[in-house]
Chains A and B, each alone.
Chain A
Amino acid sequence: MRILIIEDEARIARRIERMTNDFFEGNATISIIDSLKKGIEFLEKEKINILLLDLNLNGRDGFEVLSTMTSRSFQTIVVSANTENALRAFELGVLDFVPKPFDRERLFLALNRAVTLKKESNNSIRYLSVRKTGSIKLIDLDQMGYIQGAGIYSEIHLLDGSKELHDKGLDTLEKILPSGFERIHKSYIINIVQADRILVSSGSRYNLQLKNGEVLPIGRSRYKGFKQQFEKHFE
């Protein structure tokens, strides 16, 4: 597990480092950087799994780079004093927001979210940020039809028929997407608003027809759970 801490308060950075180390029982490589600029330079070269980020660094408002962070493959956990910014951070797709001052339990909770597969609904997220040559594009969740896994990336299929590539894999995305985005297959997450009907064919093969006519497969193990969600949604 590779972890980066961006925090300009030495004492706090060391506290986060110590606790994270405890959490991973020494099985993590942790780097500490005290400025956003150096952090971004670091991320150009190194691959990480989790970023622990202080939003207000050296007098700078970290929001200008937050969407750059959330568009990447790693999960971002914000550790900040300005709790009023929490909602804005969630909208941009951070995994968790740990308010200062924090104790061991609270930080562990956040790290737990990052490593377990269990989906927790983050209903505040409104956009997915996508890296496009040199810039960041924010995609409104309402504009998304479904997401298809593509190796370590994901392919987002938008309602207008276009596609965007996201650096996060389906497993990681699933954790930050709100309820209403359902995993129906190991390679598909759909926006339940766009689901039309479930098609059952011979040999217990299940498919989902979307409102635009496209048909996606439903995984056998996920069928039961999804059917419940589907019926609940259309009640």
Chain B
Amino acid sequence: MKPAYFLLFFAILCTSCKRQVFYDEFDPVFKTGDSIKWSVKNLDQKRWSVDRGFTGKNIFWVRANVKLISSVGGRLGLQVDAFGAYEIYWDGVKIGNNGKPGSINKPEIPGTECQYFLLPDSLSNIGMHTVALRTTQFSYPKLQRGIGLKLNTYINLIKRPLVISSVMFIMAGAFFIAFFYYAFLYFNSHKRSYPVMIFSIICLLFFSLLIMEYIKYYIEIPYPQFFIRLEIIGWLTFSISILVPLYFSIQFSLKRKLLLLSALLVTLVSIYIYHYGHYDISARYYSFAMWITTMIIVLEAIYRKEKGSFLVLAGMLASTVMNSYLVYDFGIFIFYTFIVFAMLYLHTIKMREIELAHESSLLLSSRLQLELIKKNIQPHFIKNTLTSLMDWVEDSPKQGAEFIQALATEFDIMNKIAEESLIPIRQEISLCQMHLKVMGFRKEIAYQWEDFGIKDDELIPPAIIHTLLENGITHNAPYQDGTMKFRLTYSEDLHLKEYVFETIGENRELSDERIGGGGFKYIRARLEESYPGRWTFSSSASNQGWISKITLSDTTI
């Protein structure tokens, strides 16, 4: 839980910064036409319109007043966010241009959406000032985009994007490395896990999103190309919004993930269509849809007491706190960062789980090996065998010697297969036949073995048929005529292999040992070891005695 508190604390800390205000901004007014007199500070603006109107390929002027309230403490600068190509005047003095306005016979050289201008010291006193723009907007003639003006020291205006992008690029770099790390991890790991791949893709998308967002500060994008970047950002946000819930739904093993994610996809597509062209709103709605979906997944995971679900909830809440208190345009990126952090943490938890599972599977393998070796030295087997052996040697030494041979052969086979996790079925059958010979000497029953359809080289975990055979010998008695038969039948189709093992003899009184004992646990553990999730095993009484079925499949059952 500690990382969860840390996340929340950090989020609240981040929201406690404020900005100082130096100026008031008034709404701009427009007029189509061209006159250098329109640049002056004091002009009668009565016949100017608050709408730009349809300007087509004409020159038009924009005028806006700003009131400097206090000194900014340095050389004053002006940031202008506007579309088009323009010359700019400050209190009637031309302070620069952005692109070059066109005319009827001269094409326009488009400017960039954002531009910075240094203001003369003599015109930087406190009080009212006028900004006038002589503009053309040949591209997107119908688009009436607002004009944004910001005053600050010139150095601050220039430096601020640098500061923001440096922080954002540190973040982007981290995601870029994470992308490579998890991509390599995915392609090089023995068992390719989808969450790793998805996480890697999310890291890449997120890296791209940050780069695309802040590319505006250092690459000059002429305003006609302005929307390409926004479109790309939109699709990146769209993809992340679908992948994040997908990741969590897999990590938290959500039941109806397809249903939920389809609903999300439909919602995202609807947002895209309905708010087409409104990039910021679309991005916010995408994120909101993603947030809601992820919250549903997380809350459901908490209900099921999934590991790490509380931390993810904390991350989600932290991201919301950030998003609702930060007015900066990068609030949304911090929001995503928190979510990605939560994902990263969840991922490490899951990795630890996989590590543990791997360790315990190794442990299980060696335990199963030990169990197999123990089969022949456990007191019940060895001491009863030795007692019978003693009797045979005392009574009829020749057969006693044969008994010893059979026992030695069984031990030999056991020894050979002890360290394997899969052996050819023919070897397993030899083991069973030798065991029957030994047991025949002990129990003085003429056991019979039959097998049908065996493919000698088919692999099977060691001693599982042997275990079924032992069970049959223990829990079945021969029929009145003294016979007892074991039958192994193999069949297969395209995807399924089946072994049917039958004990043909009278069932003794049913004891829990037969189905709940260590033998069946051994069989199941061995099957799971070599055919994880791709096997079935059943064992029950039949009209002839007892029947057990093992199926092995290509795909998960």
A residues with CB within 8 A of B: 8-12, 14-15, 34-35, 37, 56, 58-60, 81-84, 99-103
Let me know if B511 and A100 touch, CB within 8 A. Answer: no
Q: Can you name the residue of chain A whose Cβ is closest to the Cβ of B445?
A: A10
Rounded to whole angstroms, the CA-CA distance of A5 and B360 in the bound complex is 46
Let me know if B508 and A35 touch, CB within 8 A. Answer: yes
Verify if B380 is at the interface (C-beta below 8 Å from A): yes
Verify if B390 is at the interface (C-beta below 8 Å from A): yes
Please indicate the chain A residues that have their CB under 8 angstroms from the CB of B508 in the complex.
35, 58
How many Å from the CB of B201 to the closest CB on chain A? 55
Which of B379, B391, B471 is close to A12, meaning CB atoms less than 8 Å apart? B391
Verify if B329 is at the interface (C-beta below 8 Å from A): no
Let me know if A59 and B388 touch, CB within 8 A. Answer: no
Which of B388, B392, B475, B513 is close to A9, meaning CB atoms less than 8 Å apart? B388
How many Å from the CB of B419 to the closest CB on chain A? 27
Let me know if A81 and B380 touch, CB within 8 A. Answer: yes
How many Å from the CB of A214 to the closest CB on chain B? 47
Please indicate the chain A residues that have their CB under 8 angstroms from the CB of B511 in the complex.
58-60
Rounded to whole angstroms, the CA-CA distance of A83 and B384 in the bound complex is 12
Please indicate the chain A residues that have their CB under 8 angstroms from the CB of B441 in the complex.
11
Q: Can you name the residue of chain B whose Cβ is closest to the Cβ of A38?
A: B509
Please indicate the chain A residues that have their CB under 8 angstroms from the CB of B497 in the complex.
none
Listed A/B pairs (12) with beta-carbon separation below 8 Å: A9-B443, A10-B445, A11-B388, A11-B442, A12-B391, A14-B391, A34-B477, A59-B474, A59-B475, A81-B380, A81-B387, A83-B379
Please indicate the chain A residues that have their CB under 8 angstroms from the CB of B387 in the complex.
9, 11-12, 15, 81, 100-102
Let me know if B517 and A59 touch, CB within 8 A. Answer: yes
Let me know if B513 and A59 touch, CB within 8 A. Answer: yes
Taken residue by residue from 303 to 314, chain B's Cβ proximity to chain A (1 for < 8 Å, 0 otherwise) reads as: 000000000000
Please indicate the chain B residues that have their CB under 8 angstroms from the CB of A59 in the complex.
471, 474-475, 511, 513-514, 517
How many Å from the CB of A205 to the closest CB on chain B? 54
Residue of B391, B474, B475, B477 with most partner-chain A CB within 10 A: B391
A100 with B475, Cβ < 8 A, contacts A10-B444, A37-B509 known = no
Which of B386, B390, B509 is close to A35, meaning CB atoms less than 8 Å apart? B509
Q: Can you name the residue of chain B whose Cβ is closest to the Cβ of A35?
A: B508
Task: Count B-side interface residues using an 8 Å CB cutoff.
Answer: 27
Besides A83-B379, A100-B386, A101-B386, 5 more A-B contacts (Cβ < 8 Å) are A9-B387, A9-B442, A12-B384, A101-B383, A101-B390
Rounded to whole angstroms, the CA-CA distance of A81 and B390 in the bound complex is 14
Please indicate the chain A residues that have their CB under 8 angstroms from the CB of B517 in the complex.
59
Rounded to whole angstroms, the CA-CA distance of A58 and B508 in the bound complex is 9
Please indicate the chain B residues that have their CB under 8 angstroms from the CB of A83 in the complex.
379
Q: Can you name the residue of chain A whose Cβ is closest to the Cβ of B403?
A: A11
Give the top 8 A-B pairs by smallest Cβ distance, nearest first. Answer: A81-B383, A101-B387, A100-B383, A11-B388, A10-B444, A101-B386, A59-B513, A15-B391
Please indicate the chain A residues that have their CB under 8 angstroms from the CB of B389 in the complex.
101
Please indicate the chain A residues that have their CB under 8 angstroms from the CB of B509 in the complex.
35, 37
How many Å from the CB of A167 to the closest CB on chain B? 26
A81 with B444, Cβ < 8 A, contacts A58-B511, A59-B475 known = no
Q: Can you name the residue of chain B whose Cβ is closest to the Cβ of A83?
A: B379
Q: Can you name the residue of chain B whose Cβ is closest to the Cβ of A103?
A: B390
How many Å from the CB of B393 to the closest CB on chain A? 11
Let me know if B475 and A81 touch, CB within 8 A. Answer: no
How many Å from the CB of A225 to the closest CB on chain B? 40
Which of A11, A81, A82, A84 is close to B443, meaning CB atoms less than 8 Å apart? A11
A58 with B384, Cβ < 8 A, contacts A101-B390, A103-B390 known = no
Rounded to whole angstroms, the CA-CA distance of A20 and B191 in the bound complex is 64
Please indicate the chain B residues that have their CB under 8 angstroms from the CB of A102 in the complex.
387
Let me know if B513 and A100 touch, CB within 8 A. Answer: no
Please indicate the chain A residues that have their CB under 8 angstroms from the CB of B379 in the complex.
81-84
Q: Can you name the residue of chain A whose Cβ is closest to the Cβ of B383?
A: A81
A60 with B513, Cβ < 8 A, contacts A15-B391, A100-B383 known = yes
Please indicate the chain B residues that have their CB under 8 angstroms from the CB of A10 in the complex.
442-445
Q: Can you name the residue of chain B whose Cβ is closest to the Cβ of A12?
A: B387
How many Å from the CB of B388 to the closest CB on chain A? 4
Residue of B382, B387, B442 with most partner-chain A CB within 10 A: B387
Rounded to whole angstroms, the CA-CA distance of A109 and B22 in the bound complex is 112
Q: Can you name the residue of chain A whose Cβ is closest to the Cβ of B474?
A: A59
Please indicate the chain A residues that have their CB under 8 angstroms from the CB of B391 in the complex.
11-12, 14-15
A100 with B474, Cβ < 8 A, contacts A9-B442, A11-B392, A35-B509 known = no
Please indicate the chain A residues that have their CB under 8 angstroms from the CB of B443 in the complex.
8-11
Q: Can you name the residue of chain A whose Cβ is closest to the Cβ of B390?
A: A101
Please indicate the chain B residues that have their CB under 8 angstroms from the CB of A100 in the complex.
383-384, 386-387
Please indicate the chain A residues that have their CB under 8 angstroms from the CB of B475 in the complex.
58-59
Please indicate the chain B residues that have their CB under 8 angstroms from the CB of A34 in the complex.
477
